[in-house]
Structure 1
């Protein structure tokens, strides 16, 4: 979840159009240094536009929530820009709006990000606001209650979305007993137990300089960033790193089915199991395999079989959610209640098919072409570059990632695709969640 403040849309629109001339990936060579207090700083100079993106990644997320207080990391993040000890939330918004900048705070499972985008002339202000939010949040009781009420409202809305309900249940099955099982927002029950004191304690434990990767991309020099970082973050005192639980989620031992009644004309289906982490050496082979299976849009096997040939769904996709700890693999679709069993059978057939026989030369070539060709689009703005750089540092991928990614994809063979399909796809032991009219769908799986 995040709260954004936007202004000067005309200016930003023009700059974003112009920013479609990024450095080629092979020329992305950032500078990295560790501050005295342990904060990691990564700088990439890009002088073709007068924009500076100041992006912080804090190594904490919902995976660090106490089970009985799920939603704590997200609530803490949501309060960062809701007032500091010297600025109210209104003052923060007015200051960033006045210079036509933008500000965003967002929590996820493994990390939290807080970022500011400003023009070159306002870089000092950008550092000032970001440093103030990260080091001096006020956690005002009134703002706490307002944001918590807002999140509860979002939960109520999410509970009306069958796709969300299905995925929430799926995560509970696949990540049983593991922190990833909880929604980012938590639940109505766990969110209700969180106090302002809990937020302050979580912040004090997790928000320390050694947990922060500060990535600065844009029209600044390394020397300027070093000076700004020292001025605004140098007084942030070093603290011991918090303890971490990095155990893997347990694998499913058998097929597990959960059926959820909702009076709908369509069934929402999620089928899958545990997946991989981001540093798995098979990540690139899995990426190619999954593109062919279900991530490749209209060129994927699932779309060809379930939508085009059988007419069972408007859309269907597969996804490997590669996280710090192994995430999940899932396939999701919606189909008419009466065709639920046929759709599930079709999905399982495609899982079996990509395991049992090599993919075609054309499938392999198309997957590689798309993945290599679309890679620069993930780096075509200062904001995207800062995010990717921070995650490359977070996962320890090495800055050669930018020049090597196309080669790692090109290196994948048909044998690799079949090998990882056999290893990471299991059409026997999986979790299946169906949300819909159970009397009409008559699920037999």
Structure 2
């Protein structure tokens, strides 16, 4: 499906429109991306993007929550909103014939949400329950502590849900101010995929959004990522059956393409699936892990390479040693051509599987555009993966896998000081 014709147009009021013309099914999926989300949140308003996403579809200046839901469900469409660290998005999917109607509804939701006070309070309570639930999950606790240790008060250091303190203080007035600041045409990318030609898409989008004027105020700039503090170790007491040992290494942003690709391949080799190095060595061969894996989030600003092991509390030290040894082993031992090719094949296979539907394609190309990579990154990524060498993999490992940040969550004796 990625070979389907793709077009990109910029409207007079600054809206970027991406169209993937896919005639295979009588469906259209769209994603409306804004440069908003966690990265733009003030420290005292962490969680506002998520709260806004949860409340945005609950009413507009002329439509109630029930009317919005009825209009979507009556034609069998899907419509929802979401916020992440690097963007805010409204997504929709419908049959081609109903697309103009659902697009008009999406336009009203995006341009004139009402944020009813009762809905705001309800979503605050639901989110607080979610935060409390996460505080009881060892993995979530460990990851939150690791983010805080690495990013401090920068938005990347917090869950997109926010904190109980910041979330409780947010009001409908705060949501309206945030909406007025970031929801504007020159901050919007609309990405579509389905049975629609570019000219038709532009005409329909112009009919809904063409009269949306650019405000006089300049767009705020997201705060830069400050220098990371020195690596540290944190232990958290939690009465659980297993301990979570998590390590994090500073890692490059997506715009550092050579190193980004190298660490994506490394992540696939170490932590992707039942054949990954960490799973085979620490779980299958040594029986140390209930769960073991690694992940490397794609970020606009500097990211983190994270690996973790869930193990019996008395095995926390040996599990930690094994985890770090497998990661830092790549600094001294090059991947063989066979290992590298297998990791490339797995990574590219997973990437291809992530582009199977219209919703996948609308998400992918809109995401690439909103984080300033461009639609051509689709081909750049695949070419770069195919071209990377064992020497480049090892050089990236040596650059980034130095002293880790460490978090341990669990009961004694898991929280005894760890040492390599």
TM range (shorter): over 0.9
1:214 counterpart SS class: strand
Query: C-alpha distance in 1, partners of 2:375/2:115?
Result: 36
Q: Is the CA contact 2:243–2:414 (under 8 Å) kept in the aligned structure 1? A: no
Query: C-alpha distance in 2, partners of 1:143/1:346?
Result: 48
Task: Show structure 2 runs of 5+ residues with no match.
Answer: none
Task: Show structure 1 runs of 5+ residues with no match.
Answer: 1-22
Superposed CA deviations along residues 34-90 of structure 1, whole A, max 9, x for unmatched, are 111111111111111000112101110012111012111111121110111111111
Structure 1 residue 406: Cα displacement: 2.8
Query: C-alpha distance in 1, partners of 2:137/2:262?
Result: 33
Aligned residue among 264, 267, 273 for 1:290: 267
Structure 1 residue 440: Cα displacement: 5.3
Asked if 1:395 is matched to 2:371, the reply is yes
Query: C-alpha distance in 2, partners of 1:245/1:299?
Result: 39
Asked if 1:374 is matched to 2:350, the reply is yes
Query: C-alpha distance in 1, partners of 2:256/2:141?
Result: 29
Asked if 1:435 is matched to 2:405, the reply is no
Query: C-alpha distance in 2, partners of 1:53/1:245?
Result: 29
Structure 1 residue 333: Cα displacement: 2.1
What does residue 245 of structure 1 align with? 222
Superposed CA deviations along residues 407-428 of structure 1, whole A, max 9, x for unmatched, are 21110001011011111212x2
Structure 1 residue 288: Cα displacement: 1.3
Superposed CA deviations along residues 261-291 of structure 1, whole A, max 9, x for unmatched, are 1111210121113211111122212211222
Larger mean CA deviation between 351-360 and 378-387 belongs to: 351-360
2:311 counterpart SS class: strand
Asked if 1:314 is matched to 2:316, the reply is no
C-alpha spacing 1:175/1:256, structure 2 compared with 1 (3 Å): same
Cα root mean square deviation, aligned: 1.5
Aligned residue among 328, 331, 341 for 1:352: 328
Structure 1 residue 375: Cα displacement: 2.5
Q: Is the CA contact 2:234–2:406 (under 8 Å) kept in the aligned structure 1? A: yes
1:91 counterpart SS class: helix
1:82 counterpart SS class: coil
Aligned residue among 52, 57, 60 for 1:84: 60
Q: Is the CA contact 1:338–1:441 (under 8 Å) kept in the aligned structure 2? A: no
What does residue 199 of structure 1 align with? 175
What does residue 107 of structure 2 align with? 131
Query: C-alpha distance in 2, partners of 1:265/1:396?
Result: 44
2:354 counterpart SS class: helix
Query: C-alpha distance in 2, partners of 1:396/1:67?
Result: 25
Query: C-alpha distance in 2, partners of 1:416/1:440?
Result: 36
Please give the residue correspondences for 1:45-444 in structure 2 after superposition, counting only pairs within 5 Å. Answer: 45-239=21-215, 240-253=217-230, 255-282=231-258, 283-294=260-271, 296-426=272-402, 428=403, 430-439=404-413, 441-444=415-418
2:257 counterpart SS class: coil
Structure 1 residue 248: Cα displacement: 2.8
Q: Is the CA contact 2:43–2:154 (under 8 Å) kept in the aligned structure 1? A: no
C-alpha spacing 1:224/1:440, structure 2 compared with 1 (3 Å): closer
Q: After TM superposition, where is structure 1 displaced by more than 6 Å over at least 4 residues in a row?
A: none
1:79 counterpart SS class: helix
- Normalised TM-score (structure 1): 0.90
Structure 1 residue 246: Cα displacement: 4.6
Query: C-alpha distance in 2, partners of 1:373/1:147?
Result: 38
Structure 1 residue 442: Cα displacement: 2.6
Query: C-alpha distance in 2, partners of 1:441/1:186?
Result: 27
Q: Is the CA contact 1:293–1:354 (under 8 Å) kept in the aligned structure 2? A: no
2:82 counterpart SS class: strand
Query: C-alpha distance in 2, partners of 1:241/1:393?
Result: 20
- Normalised TM-score (structure 2): 0.96
Q: Is the CA contact 2:354–2:360 (under 8 Å) kept in the aligned structure 1? A: yes
Query: C-alpha distance in 1, partners of 2:188/2:308?
Result: 35
Q: Is the CA contact 1:53–1:218 (under 8 Å) kept in the aligned structure 2? A: yes
1:77 counterpart SS class: helix
Structure 1 residue 309: Cα displacement: 1.7
What does residue 8 of structure 2 align with? 32
Q: Is the CA contact 2:238–2:409 (under 8 Å) kept in the aligned structure 1? A: yes
2:381 counterpart SS class: helix
Query: C-alpha distance in 2, partners of 1:420/1:190?
Result: 38
Structure 1 residue 344: Cα displacement: 0.3
Query: C-alpha distance in 2, partners of 1:141/1:398?
Result: 38
**How many residues of Structure 1 are paired with residues of Structure 2 in the alignment?**
417
